[in-house]
Chains A and B, each alone.
Chain A
Amino acid sequence: MGHAESAALFVRDDERTHWHDQALWFVRQKRDAGARSVPDWEALRERAEAIKAHTQSRMAEYLEEFERNATRLGATVHWARDGEEHNRIVHGLLQARGAKLLVKSKSMLTEECHLNPYLEARGIEVVDTDLGERIVQLNHQPPSHIVMPAIHMKREEIGVLFHDTIGTQAGLTDPKALTEAARQHLRQKFLGATAGMTGVNFAIAETGGIVVVTNEGNADMGTSLPPIHIASMGIEKVIPRAEDLGVFLRLLARSATGQPVSSYTSHFHGPRRGSELHVVVVDNGRSALLREAGFRRALACIRCGACLNTCPVYRRSGGYSYTWLIPGPIGSTLAPGRDPAAHASLPFASSLCGSCTDVCPVRIDLHHQLLAWRREIVARGLLPAGKRWGMRLASWLLRFTWLYALAGRAARFFLRVLPPAWTRGLSGAWGRQRELPVAPPESFRELYRRTRGQP
């Protein structure tokens, strides 16, 4: 099922569609206020873009520098070509230490690798500890948003879910009470965990450190107690220097939620005393994307989610309408690079309004990339037959004046003589939610000729 078909299911619930739209727009407005509070916002964005472009041009060197420095600090760096190798490495580390309970903080990469089912099938309990992620995990769903994983759920639904899964009283809907229940539930998991896992927001080549950002403190709880911390990062997370963080951190939280900075910006330089730190560096298609001159800018993404919150299509179709686990404009540019056939509908899930590009803190030209992907999809013959023939027909129609005039005449005739229900049906998707216009007595060309002479 492509995006349009899934979105059609989502928008069946009109009230929920508007609620979802408003919830995301609220976050977009907070982002605007956050951005406006910084006088040098545009200069920051340009600098962030340039630092990412520079990093891409020397990425191998910086990855090696990171590995060297991280190793010097006592961390162990592992390399994984794909998700399967990543999972094997993580499982191997856990198995060798007899770890049975893994507490995990937010990591879209481990979602991408399908780590949870891999470990669960091998007898390891994995607990997602970010509140939103825990909610969707208990609900057996993937995140529907990269920053707010449970944004699609209403408090009443979460109340029922918590009642069924963690034993809260029935009918609980107050976010404060629900969060408190989750705190108590997850506190026990933190205290019982034998391993902690996090994603990586930034890996600093110069110092060999990794930076993990959360508001809840779950990454910190999860790495302060167990004897092993495993951090998974895509190769694109590396940045040259610690001072570059000043640029990215001033942009990240403001773009994500409008906060001036996240509550916890944790810098791990080597393992905690008496524990281990393992960093798994994952490619999984990223180096292939880096090769694509037209599309590599998407690798600069710092996962703030601003493009989702502003996207008129995401806001009204929800995260699960997308065929890739990262939804919204950034997901729709990244996904076709992995598998154009599987994600052929995503570049079309956009109005090309350009709002995503305007809010992107690292200035990825998202809507241009979506348009470029449409060309690729067409060139590779992956357009659905209906659309392909429609476009071919339109191309003929626009190429021959006589055919265009004839079609116009026919359209005006049928609009006049056929019942509206029929013509709406004939106009395809356009007519589904719209009345067709009243047919004018003459075409524009006829009108022009009559009043101004020859066109």
Chain B
Amino acid sequence: MASRDDILGAVRRAQPPAAAHPGVAGLGTRFPDLAAKFAEMVAVVGGTCLRVPDLAAADRALRELPVHREAKRIASLVPGVGGATFDPAAVGDPHELAGMDLCVLAAELGVAENGAVWLDVRKLPHQALFVIPEHVAVVVQASTLVHDMHQAYAAISHGPGFALFLSGPSKTADIEQALVIGAHGARSCTVLLVGA
């Protein structure tokens, strides 16, 4: 505890005079067509956005895609979508998820300004399910779309547990700035926007 007290003491002595927190009100951006902007940004970040009227249509749309047709091990956390081949909750060790082809996930909300979706991983049997599969598909209800990150943070609650903004597939540009999709996580990210 000596280090803790040393550090906090040094910080306290070093702190500048009080400056007010400016708050986050009055910032942000508004789009005329929320769903259209969200779909556009999903494509910008390297994902594919399919707009479907309901979950049954989401299921049909997903099954037509190569990421589904060619998939052998599929898990789905969205009942009725994706035709799961196994139940991840029955898997004891998350290492056994390696090599799974597709995971269908449900997002809490979608952000139009950057195509990100908020995934509450607390609801999943394994934290790795959004990152370890070769491909992911995310179901987002159009009614949950928000314009920007300020609205997103106003809508979500935190902890305990893990959650994230996922924006498109895993990517890197570490070799000569050449964009390559599929670094360590999913090689593709299909977003099924329902009810738009």
Q: Which residues of A contact B (CB under 8 A)?
A: 23, 26-27, 38-40, 43-44, 47, 50-51, 53-54, 56-60, 63-64, 73-74, 79-81, 85, 129-132, 135, 148-151, 153-155, 158, 175-176, 178-180, 182-183, 186-187, 190-191, 204, 207-209, 215-218, 220-221, 223-225, 235, 240, 242-247, 249-250, 257, 259-270, 272-273, 281, 283, 287-288, 290-291, 293, 296
Say yes or no: A283 contacts B10, CB within 8 Å: yes
Closest chain A CB from B91 CB (angstroms): 13
Interface positions, chain B 154-168, Cβ under 8 Å from A, are: 154, 158-168
Among B12-20, B56-64, B73-81, B102-110, the stretch that binds chain A is B12-20
CA distance A224 to B12 in the complex (A): 36
Point out the residues of chain A lying under 8 angstroms from B22, CB to CB: 47, 50-51, 54
CA distance A262 to B111 in the complex (A): 13
**Is B94 at the interface (CB under 8 A from chain A)?**
yes
**Is B138 at the interface (CB under 8 A from chain A)?**
no
Closest chain B CB from A151 CB (angstroms): 7
Beyond contacts A220-B128, A272-B162: 11 other A-B pairs, Cβ-Cβ < 8 A, are A176-B178, A204-B158, A217-B185, A224-B131, A244-B24, A265-B116, A269-B162, A269-B163, A281-B7, A287-B11, A290-B15
Closest chain B CB from A268 CB (angstroms): 6
A selection of 14 A-B contacts at a CB cut-off of 8 Å is A50-B19, A60-B11, A63-B7, A74-B160, A150-B174, A179-B175, A217-B186, A221-B132, A245-B149, A247-B27, A259-B167, A260-B113, A270-B160, A290-B11
CA distance A261 to B150 in the complex (A): 13
Closest chain A CB from B8 CB (angstroms): 5
Closest chain A CB from B63 CB (angstroms): 25
Closest chain B CB from A389 CB (angstroms): 37
Point out the residues of chain B lying under 8 angstroms from A288, CB to CB: 10, 14
Interface positions, chain B 136-183, Cβ under 8 Å from A, are: 148-150, 152-154, 158-178, 180, 182-183
Closest chain B CB from A157 CB (angstroms): 10
Selected from A39, A130, A270, the residue in CB contact (under 8 A) with B174 is A130
Closest chain A CB from B5 CB (angstroms): 8
Given known A-B contacts A57-B19, A154-B176, A269-B158, A264 and B185 have beta carbons under 8 A apart: yes
Say yes or no: B149 contacts A216, CB within 8 Å: no
What is the interface size of chain B, counting residues whose CB is below 8 A from a CB of the partner? 74
Point out the residues of chain A lying under 8 angstroms from B13, CB to CB: 287, 291
Selected from B16, B26, B41, the residue in CB contact (under 8 A) with A260 is B41
A224 closest partner in B (C-beta) = B128
A-B residue pairs, 7 tightest by C-beta: A269-B159, A217-B185, A260-B114, A132-B174, A216-B183, A224-B128, A291-B14
CA distance A179 to B172 in the complex (A): 8
**Is B85 at the interface (CB under 8 A from chain A)?**
no
Say yes or no: A220 contacts B154, CB within 8 Å: no
Say yes or no: B184 contacts A60, CB within 8 Å: no
Say yes or no: A220 contacts B11, CB within 8 Å: no
Point out the residues of chain A lying under 8 angstroms from B161, CB to CB: 269-270
Closest chain B CB from A127 CB (angstroms): 12
Say yes or no: A175 contacts B178, CB within 8 Å: yes
Given known A-B contacts A246-B24, A260-B45, A260-B114, A60 and B12 have beta carbons under 8 A apart: yes
**Is B69 at the interface (CB under 8 A from chain A)?**
no
Say yes or no: A266 contacts B162, CB within 8 Å: yes
Point out the residues of chain A lying under 8 angstroms from B178, CB to CB: 155, 175-176
B128 closest partner in A (C-beta) = A224
Closest chain A CB from B124 CB (angstroms): 10
Say yes or no: B95 contacts A225, CB within 8 Å: yes
Closest chain B CB from A318 CB (angstroms): 15
**Is B89 at the interface (CB under 8 A from chain A)?**
no
